[in-house]
Amino acid sequence: MATMLELKGRIGSVSSTQKITGAMKMISSAKLQKAESLLTHARPFRRQLQNTINNLLSTGEGYLSPLSEERPLQKAAIVVFGSNEGLCGAFNSMASGLLSQKAAELKKQGASTVTVYVIGKKIKSFVSKVKGIELADTSYISSQNGAAGIKQLAEELMSKFLGKEFDRVEVIYYRFKSISSQKLTDETFLPIQVEADDTPVVNNDYIFEPDSKTIYQTILPLFVHATLYDDWLQNQTSEQAARIIAMQTANDNANKLLEELQLDYNKLRQQNITNELLDIAGGSIR
């Protein structure tokens, strides 16, 4: 059985850990608000691009783009978004597990090589254990230049897809729903599949300048940029939400452990006091 000194040390250790997890939860809450704000402000641009595409598609003309070309699968790429920091539960391990499954699936479909772009410092240690993949350089993407780095990545992926270095590009990321819900998602990024959504088109009687095809070819790369940027923001927001849940769970467990340790400490203290009283009483009788 543990001594009072040992129990006191464990109580102090758990209490210190609880303070750290509580502070990290507060920091993640502030970061979550900032990430949600960025996500909210980025959505109107992507929505407007989608509306413009809807208007173009509503004219009934067929639009072809090299970015939407379907080709036999020989070379594939996967962009996997993870976290830059730890202490966010199974956030990285689950994304790495889906990456492993997706890579195996692409190879079964005929891909001879699978190149992986890893976004996030912490997830790299998980991805390095996945067999049968080639890691691409993503050192130019950091938390300080996130938007610029994601734009550069989108340009690189489009360039390699158009140059037929990749026949398909997949993206794995967490879609943010709420603080308590983040959905791990796998989507085909290239070839881009642009379809009209459910937004009603009020009027499709347009005069296009210079012409609708040129406008479509100009908007499509912007839509690709906006899509990858939105995926990155979704994942950034989900990371902070996952960390809040992880830190809250750690706090709750620390509270339960502190209660148990304090109870054991009080029992042992009471037992020692009782033993001392018995010794005193026994000595006076003798």
> 224-250: per-residue pLDDT in tens?
999 999 999 999 999 999 999 999 998
Comparing 25-29, 47-51, 76-80, 117-121, which segment has the lowest mean pLDDT? 47-51
Q: Edge-to-edge, what's the strand order for the sheet holding 168-178?
A: 134-135, 113-119, 75-81, 168-178, 181-190
What does the chain come to in residues? 286
Distances from the Cα of 234 to the Cα of 99, 143, 185, 226, 284, angstroms: 18, 14, 11, 12, 75
How crowded is residue 206: how many other Cβ atoms within 10 Å of its Cβ? Answer: 12
Asked if pLDDT for residue 194 goes beyond 80, the answer is no
Average confidence (pLDDT) over 86-104: 92
Distance CA 200, CA 197 (A): 8
Average confidence (pLDDT) over 71-79: 94
Average confidence (pLDDT) over 160-169: 94
pLDDT at 204: 59
Cα 53 to chain center, whole Å? 28
Categorize the per-residue pLDDT at 1 as very low, low, confident or very high, splitting at 50, 70 and 90. low
Helix ranges restricted to H, the chain: 4-57, 91-108, 123-127, 146-162, 212-285
Mean pLDDT, the chain, rounded, equals 86
Distance CA 90, CA 281 (A): 58
Asked if pLDDT for residue 197 goes beyond 70, the answer is no
How crowded is residue 99: how many other Cβ atoms within 10 Å of its Cβ? Answer: 25
Higher pLDDT among residues 283 and 174, named by residue: 174
pLDDT at 9: 83
Categorize the per-residue pLDDT at 284 as very low, low, confident or very high, splitting at 50, 70 and 90. low
pLDDT at 263: 85
Asked if pLDDT for residue 202 goes beyond 60, the answer is no
Neighbouring residues of 52: CB distance < 8 A, sequence distance ≥ 6: 215, 219
Distances from the Cα of 238 to the Cα of 83, 158, 243, 250, angstroms: 9, 26, 9, 18
pLDDT at 129: 84
Could you give the percent of the chain with pLDDT greater than 70? 92
3-state SS class at 37: helix
- pLDDT per residue as tens digits for the range 248-257: 998 888 888 8
pLDDT at 4: 77
Categorize the per-residue pLDDT at 81 as very low, low, confident or very high, splitting at 50, 70 and 90. very high
3-state SS class at 80: strand
